[in-house]
Structure 1
Amino acid sequence: MVSTTHRDAGVEGVEGGVGVTALMVAAARAIETYRHDTLVRDIYAEHFVLAAPASAGWPVRLQQVPDRDANPLWGRFARYFGLRTRVLDDFLLRSVHTGNARQVVLLGAGLDSRAFRLDWPSGCVIFEIDREGVLAFKNKVLDGLSATPRAARVPVPVDLRADWVAALADAGFDTAAPSVWLAEGLLFYLPAIAEEFLIDTVDRLSTEGSALAFEVKLDKDLMEYRDSPLYTSTTQQIGIDLLSLFDREPRPDSAGALESKGWATSVHTPFDFTRRHGRGPLPEDNDALAGNRWVFANRP
């Protein structure tokens, strides 16, 4: 467990840059949790938002947003994060309940609370990889709530730009056993070469029966959407300029790379799942979500 005795270790990881986006997603999950037609319940999400100075005053209920669902950030964008959480929850649970994989690796875990929320089968181990400051803040909040994980939870405090493979091995990851991997809201921020390395590494560490889900953006030019309501409202309302955080290099074909290595993949738009669940964002003009894709892969 990461030490949380020093104040900086408890908040610095979520006070700026990419780290603060984890608070934005937590606020979205809190709002989703208390909708009458919720797709996912995360009772821990609001506590992360309320505990961090960076998110002081942010809404954690839709009733706290004056224009409710008409608000591009706390309405449509928040609903997107709720849908994404539900879809990836379903992927993880389906993967561990229908196969032999009992190792789950959350790459860039952020303020995800799946180790505490989901119905894991016996013997599951959840490895949470993220920067030390992020995990320290997360641990501090969860400890304060006396939260109990529903599977063995192993925080792995390491930056994904460092030797996270060695850190994961030291934490007890078994390369000879099937594993389930998740990169949620992560690859947007990585250079193309780092995404290629991550995908190659997951392939190398995964035996038969493993699975992987990740999120990518396929926009040819992100700046085409610089005036999108999602981006402008996020900047104006909470001071997060997502376009300054996203890597703007041309993206690699990670789904194709996995297929060439023998994985079976499927690629979906978020709107596919909006239609499936009857809730979530649908396409609109000048849509910053137009290039988003959710990729699911299995190693037979």
Structure 2
Amino acid sequence: MDGGVGLTALLVAAARTIETHRHDSLAQDVYAEHFTRAAPVCADWPVRLDGVPDGDADPLWGRFARYFGLRTRVLDDFLLRSVSGDARQVVLLGAGLDTRAFRLEWPPDCVLFEIDRAGVLAFKHRVLTGLSAVPKVRRLAVPVDLRADWVTALTTAGFDPSAPSVWLAEGLLFYLPSRAETYLIDTVDLLTTGGSALAFEAKLEKDLLAYRDSAIYTATREQIGIDLLDLFDKGPRPDSAGDLRAKGWSASVHTPFDFTHRHGRGPLPEPNDALEGNRWVFAHKPLP
């Protein structure tokens, strides 16, 4: 958890912690702070905005953290809407330190699958067990790297491709090479039936390095030693939303700023903006 993409999971947990303590919070995650306290690498990271000298003006713990808070709320809403119908299987791809199984109110017959590397899930299990946290849904951890045969691991855990399902790839795809993203989207299509849904986050910049000196990337490098551009895949991105439409799905593409306006708080565009190319995609597979 103390390096690479694992460290970004702790960054998002710290952002959710700050969001939780805001007076105008968009999402509540009482577990997030315990993840940051359990990892020595982030022991001195702030957990409240009043612990940040520049407050919301700080590009990392202000604006970027608010982005993660907004994203959490929007995807919470997506998942809960999606299981209000017939879908009772939820799959979190690259689940990281997601605590939706413990935070959200799920239908009683729902099952949630969390796919991630064994070390990430073990860290999360240790922290949550220490808190005597109880999930509000039948939760099944699937410890497998998404570069390995995760389909077999998922179906062996009990996933039923013939039943409607809801999928989430939050903060995942831009770490993957283009071919891997296409494979993942194609595989989700093959594993889903009508009435299923998928949400994912994408980045559409033609040249990520053009934003290397943006306030967010600079602050993340200098304040906590995470070089996001070193972790992101820099190759051309596929049109995954378009690929899903070609397979018969409906897909809507939004900027985060759309939801800032909807909720009345969150990041707004600024010059040399590292969030400029971020898109949130919501797709639905129609019934036959």
Which category describes the TM-score, using the shorter chain as reference length? over 0.9
Partner of 1:156: helix, strand, or coil? strand
- Asked if residue 95 in structure 1 is aligned to residue 109 in structure 2, the reply is no
What is the aligned partner in structure 2 of residue 10 from structure 1? none
TM-score normalized by the length of structure 2: 0.99
How far does residue 66 in structure 1 lie from its aligned partner after superposition? 1.2
Distance 2:191 2:157 in 1: 14
- Which one of 9, 17, 20 corresponds to residue 4 of structure 2? 17
Distance 1:146 1:122 in 2: 21
What is the aligned partner in structure 2 of residue 246 from structure 1? 232
1:135-154 matches, within 5 Å, as: 135-154=121-140
What is the aligned partner in structure 2 of residue 59 from structure 1? 46
TM-score normalized by the length of structure 1: 0.95
Partner of 2:279: helix, strand, or coil? strand
What is the aligned partner in structure 1 of residue 259 from structure 2? 273
Instruction: Give the paired residue count.
Output: 286
- Which one of 200, 204, 219 corresponds to residue 233 of structure 1? 219
Per-residue CA deviations over 1:1-59 (Å, capped at 9, x if unaligned) read xxxxxxxxxxxxx1111110000000000000010000000000000000001211111
1:38-57 matches, within 5 Å, as: 38-57=25-44
1:37-186 matches, within 5 Å, as: 37-97=24-84, 99-186=85-172
List structure 1 segments (4+ residues) > 6 angstroms apart after TM superposition.
none
Unaligned runs of 5+ in 1: 1-13
Partner of 2:201: helix, strand, or coil? strand
Distance 2:157 2:55 in 1: 43
How far does residue 272 in structure 1 lie from its aligned partner after superposition? 0.1
How far does residue 227 in structure 1 lie from its aligned partner after superposition? 0.3
Distance 2:116 2:239 in 1: 24
Match for 1:266: what amino acid? S
- Which one of 18, 31, 49 corresponds to residue 31 of structure 1? 18
How far does residue 113 in structure 1 lie from its aligned partner after superposition? 0.2
Distance 1:60 1:192 in 2: 35
Q: Over aligned residue pairs, what C-alpha RMSD do you find?
A: 0.4
Match for 1:195: what amino acid? E
Match for 1:43: what amino acid? V
Per-residue CA deviations over 1:151-193 (Å, capped at 9, x if unaligned) read 0000000000000000001110001100000000000100000
Unaligned runs of 5+ in 2: none
